Amino acid sequence: MAKQTDAIELQKNFALLIDGKLVETENFLRVINPATEKVFAHCPVADQTHLNTSVSAARRALDAWSSKSYEERAGYIQQLAILLREHKDFLASLLTQEQGKPLSQSVAEIDRGASQSEGIAGIEIPIEALVDDEERYIELQYRPLGVVGIITPWNAPVNLALGPLVSALYTGNTIILKPSPYTPLTTLKMGELMREIFPAGVINFLAGGDELGHEMTKHPEINKISFTGSVETGKKVMASAAGTLKRVTLELGGNDPAIILEDVDPEAIAKKIFFAAFVNSGQVCMAVKRIYAHEEIYEELCSALAKEAKNAKYGNGLDPENHLGPIQNKMQFNKVVGILEDTKKIGARFLSGGTLPDMPGYFFPPTLVTDIDEDSRLVREEQFGPIVPILKYKDVEDAIRRANDTPYGLSGSVWSNDRERATKIAKRLRVGTAWVNQHRATSAYVPFGGAKESGIGRQYSILGLKGYMEPEVLSVVK
Ligand code: NAD
């Protein structure tokens, strides 16, 4: 574990960060630990005045920040990664208490956030010479957009804040960040740490409900919204941003298929598929949400996955014995229970789970379902919880058609011992990312985002970074 620095001692009180100052507020929201259902902290809530003050500060800071070189800005981001690692014990414990995921996964989220930040800040964005002949010189360069509003969800608040935040800052923008009202605390603490590094106004951290997010999307002085959340809210964000023609990057939901071909060894892949479906109790945008298994290996795969489900201990994430934590909030718990009830009503077969434990906390056992209709809620909707269908197929063409028969298009995977055949099939998935013999692998250098209704634009990589910039052509007659 990393050592704590003496320089910054983090405490369990929380403040907004506006123009380099920690700001307390009159209004608070109560943050519930989903493993106990008890309020464990109070979080300040920003109002319209806080938002306006933050936006003004971000605009004032823009000139000096955008005038720095990429290398200079990368230097600030490297310091951020160091601070995150130094304080990861504190941050990870806070993340588990507000989000619910096991402590080891909170530590991994912070480690990954730190290394992805370093990765993003190492990407070169060259000026592109398009024409350079006897008559003309034409180049394409990229300028920062200005003030970027970042809005994040509750399933991975650290990672999903750091990706857009570092991308926006590295490319010369200043930012206003608003986390989900369900998980605002770790984000505010990151703001407190970053205050030690970044000049006043460059970073502003607010907390608040959906209304604050809406105010950001229509604010005339915010130039771009980077939004991660549900498809439904993504559409509202885009409609509202249209009023000021803001640029948007939308990272939205998914209903990821995994197609398992007949030549796999079910025992050998079960652990990987189970993890890809149930990590963070299924509350991952790119988790496997539908498993299509060839009839020849179907029964064996069902048994192997059911064994994994039965061995996966769930409970309070602070207890290292537990592999899975609770569902993050009551609203989502009720939604997943609604899908469970529908699945029972239509007579599907349960291989594991399906019965809720009698204990405090939004706990839901890992539940695998078979013999279920393709038109059921569990197959059609993004369940975003620990209940996953296994669907049988005979002809792979039919599996590809069913996998693509959804408005979602975030990602998907194909599993086989024949890599070439699996690759050909993966290329036919209509998704932002198609994996072969893996699922859920991302990197700072590889673009990530959704096809179809799973989003617009990409995060990470040079492609993602260009989404935080305006392309400008310079054309010179010689
Ligand atoms: P959500 O859409 O309900 O909320 C996300 C954020 O938007 C919150 O901060 C919320 O306060 C804010 N918000 C709500 N209404 C708003 C409005 N009208 N205008 C502006 N902001 C508003 O999503 P959630 O329930 O927090 O997160 C779960 C969803 O996020 C799932 O669908 C999941 O798949 C998706 N997600 C996508 C990715 C990705 O990278 N594609 C990653 C993680 C999660």
Region of residue 313 (phi > 0: left; psi between -120 and 50: alpha; otherwise: beta): beta
Pairing of strands 387-393, 411-415: unpaired
Name the residue at shortest CA distance from atom 12 of ligand 1.
210
Model confidence over 309-335: pLDDT tens digits? Answer: 999 999 999 999 999 999 999 999 999
* Amino acid code (one letter) for 93: S
Q: Does the beta carbon of 155 lie inside 6 Å of ligand 1?
A: yes
Residue ranges of E strands in 93-146:
128-132, 136-144
Strand-pairing partners, residue 439, are none
- 201, with CB counted inside 10 A (0-12, 13-18, 19+), is buried
Q: Which of 251, 308, 382, 453 is catalytic?
A: 251
Report the half-sphere exposure of 58 (CA within 13 A, side-chain side).
31
The tokens describing 162, both together, are 């750091």
Question: For the whole model, what pTM was predicted?
Answer: 0.97
C-alpha dihedral sign at 443, 468, 173, 182: negative
Smallest CA-to-CA distance from 378 within 355, 409, 344 is with 344
Residue owning the nearest CA to atom 17 of ligand 1: 214
251 is catalytic: yes
Give per-residue pLDDT as tens, 333-358: 999 999 999 999 999 999 999 999 99
Tell me the per-residue pLDDT of 215-243, one tens digit each, with 9 for 90 and over.
999 999 999 999 999 999 999 999 999 99
pLDDT for res 12: 72
| 425 has a pLDDT exceeding 70 | yes
Total Cβ atoms within 10 A of residue 446: 14
Could you give the CA distance from residue 183 to residue 14 in angstroms, rounded to a whole number?
12
pLDDT grade for 8, boundaries at 50, 70 and 90: low
CB 165 within 8 A of CB 150: yes
CB-CB contact of 297 with 398 (8 Å): no
CA quadruple 207, 213, 214, 218: dihedral positive or negative? positive
**From the CB of 98, is ligand 1 less than 6 Å away?**
no
User: Does the C-beta of 153 come closer than 6 Å to ligand 1?
Assistant: yes
Ligand 1 pocket test, candidate residues 248, 285, 459, most atoms within 8 A of CB = 285
Helix (H) or strand (E) holding 12: none
* Burial class, 67, CB count within 10 angstroms (exposed 0-12 / middle 13-18 / buried 19+): exposed
What gap in Å lies between CA 466 and CA 167, rounded to an integer?
9
The tens digit of pLDDT for each residue in 151-193 reads: 999 999 999 999 999 999 999 999 999 999 999 999 999 999 9
pLDDT tens-digit series, residues 244-261:
999 999 999 999 999 999
Percent of the chain with pLDDT over 70: 98
Any atom of ligand 1 within 6 Å of the Cβ of 181: yes
Chain segment 28-47, per-residue pLDDT in tens: 999 999 999 999 999 999 99
Q: From the CA of 285, give the closest atom in ligand 1.
A: 34
Examine the residue annotation and report whether 128 is marked as an active-site residue of this protein: no
Asked whether the predicted pLDDT for residue 415 surpasses 50, the reply is yes
